[in-house]
Amino acid sequence: MHAAHRTFAALLLIQAFDVWVHLASNMLEPLGVAANVMLAVGGWMILSTPAGANGVGAANGFAFVVLNGVFIAVHGLTNPATGNLRLPMLLLVACSLLALVVHVRAAQEAEQ
C-alpha cells in the first residue's frame, strides 16, 4: 500500500470520526457534514490526480475552512449551551487540515 493510500485512509477516518461525534451527540450539522464529505472527496481526487495534488489540496482545504468558518459565524466560537469554546471542533478541523497536507505530500512523492 502506497503512503498516499495510508494518508487517505487517515483522512477518511478523521472525517468519519467527526461525523460520528455529531451523530452520537445528536448535533448533526449539515455544514459540518458537507465539509467532511467535501474533504473526503478531495482526498480521493488527490489520489486520482497526484500531479494536481497541490491545487486540489489547496482548493479543498480552503473550502473546508470556509464551511467551518460559516458554521462559527452562524453559531459562534463558543457552545451556547455550555459557554465553552468549541475546542473539539477546532481540534478536528486542525487534524483534518494536517491530514490533508500530509496526504498531498504523500501523493506528490508517489508521483515522483
State the total domains in the chain: 1
CA distances from 1 to 9, 30, 70, 96 (A): 11, 33, 37, 21
pLDDT of residue 33: 93
pLDDT of residue 64: 96
Instruction: Name the nearest CA neighbour of 82 among 27, 14, 15.
Output: 27
For the chain, helix (H) and strand (E) counts, in that order, are: 4, 0
pLDDT of residue 90: 95
pLDDT of residue 1: 57
Q: pLDDT tens across 49-62, in order?
A: 888 889 999 999 99
pTM: predicted TM-score of the whole model, two decimal places:
0.91
Which residues does the chain have with pLDDT short of 70? 1
DSSP 16-59: HHHHHHHHHTT---HHHHHHHHHHHHHHHHHHH-GGGHHHHHHH
d(CA 11, CA 36): 10
Domain assignment of residue 96, given as a range? 3-111
